Amino acid sequence: MNSDEQLGTLKESLLGLDMESAVEAARSLADGGGQAAVQDAVSAVSEALGVVGKRFQDGEWFLTELVYAGEIAKEVMGLLTPLLEAGAAEAAGTVVVGTVAGDLHDLGKNIFVSYARGAGFKVVDLGVDVPVDRFVDAARESSALALGMSCLLTSTEGEIGKVIAELERQGLRESVKVIVGGAALTEQFARHVGADAFAPDAITGLDTVKKWSAS
Ligand code: B1M
């Protein structure tokens, strides 16, 4: 099977809720190619998850399917994303990252974390469901260059403004750039709450923090 066929199998397996076949396709892609193949596989999983979201939204799939598709994606991403980090030295600065309070989605955040580590950033990954104070404490304690928040639920996007307000209250806002990403957000929303940047995808996010690190 060539790599295009393997990418097709990976997507189809995820959408067919076939864990074993998805993991096998991801392993073959990871074994057979370099960074580009891994990036393609990560994009394929992201695309498939877009379809999963649509099926759930349209009532074609229920929570059980959403949860299982999420589990398959987590397993597959667990194989792929560490390969994006290979061999980097932590010299480009520190970035604190987490998913906002009330939100448990972490696949997109983890892709950004792996890309950032792969580019030489030290990443303090706070995980999911991160309260305001943990973001702010971690940014202060690590003298972070940037603080990144991921948010996929419209019900939790208000958390972002709270974190920015707390950074301001503690006199940290001037020294920490804020970047946000995730399906619930838009450029306009990011600007409205006072973030410095919106990342529609992990590569754009990485390019932004690289620019900040260089200036
Ligand atoms: Co949920 N979910 N989910 N879910 N889920 C969405 C987000 C939803 C849009 C589906 C839908 O209805 N169409 C919907 C939200 C609706 C809304 O608020 N507008 C939704 C819902 C409703 C829910 C529940 C409430 C369902 C329920 O219980 N009734 C529940 C909430 C739980 C909670 O968080 N408290 C829930 C649960 C779950 C699972 C646990 C089952 C699972 C998550 C598994 C996990 O993350 N470990 C899950 C999944 C898989 C999805 C969808 C299908 C896929 C999300 C994903 O991982 N996409 C999603 C549908 C969708 O997004 N279209 C959906 C792939 C990922 C790579 O994309 O995270 O956007 P994304 O990341 C991108 C960019 O956004 C960017 O880079 C990444 C790629 O380059 N990016 C950053 C993201 N964060 C970044 C941070 C950065 C930089 C870039 O810097 C810091």
- Residue closest via CA to ligand 1's atom 43 equals 105
Using CA atoms, how far apart are residues 38 and 55, in angstroms rounded to an integer? 26
- For 23-56, the pLDDT digits (tens) are 999 999 988 778 888 999 999 999 999 999 999 9
Strand order of the sheet with strand 94-99? 122-125, 94-99, 146-150, 177-181, 197-199
Looking at ligand 1, which atom is closest to the CA of residue 149?
91
* Contacts with 140 (C-beta within 8 Å, 6 or more apart), sequence order: 170, 172
- Find, among 167, 173, 197, the residue nearest to 185 by Cα: 197
Using CA atoms, how far apart are residues 174 and 168, in angstroms rounded to an integer? 8
* Contacts with 1 (C-beta within 8 Å, 6 or more apart), sequence order: 9, 28
- Residue closest via CA to ligand 1's atom 46 equals 105
Mean pLDDT, to the nearest integer, of 181-198? 96
Q: Which pTM was predicted?
A: 0.94
Name the β-bridge partners of 94.
122
Q: Which of 27, 54, 86 is the last residue of a domain?
A: 86
Residues 33 and 112 grouped into a single domain: no
Residues 199 and 115 grouped into a single domain: yes
Residues 116 and 180 grouped into a single domain: yes
* CA dihedral sign, ordered 101, 105, 106, 109: negative
The CATH number for 143's domain is 3.40.50.280
| Residue 87 clears pLDDT 90, i.e. is over it | no
Instruction: Give the whole-number percent of the chain exceeding pLDDT 70.
Output: 98
DSSP state of 131: -
pLDDT of residue 132: 98
Using CA atoms, how far apart are residues 20 and 31, in angstroms rounded to an integer? 16
- Distance of CA 1 from the midpoint of ligand 1 (Å): 31
Q: Using an 8 Å Cβ cutoff, are 209 and 180 in contact? A: no
SS3 177: strand
Instruction: Give the whole-number percent of the chain exceeding pLDDT 90.
Output: 84
Provide the residue range defining the domain that includes 125. Answer: 94-214
- Distance of CA 100 from the midpoint of ligand 1 (Å): 12
- For 132-180, the pLDDT digits (tens) are 999 999 999 999 999 999 999 999 999 999 999 999 999 999 999 999 9
Residues 191 and 130 grouped into a single domain: yes
Residues 57 and 75 grouped into a single domain: yes
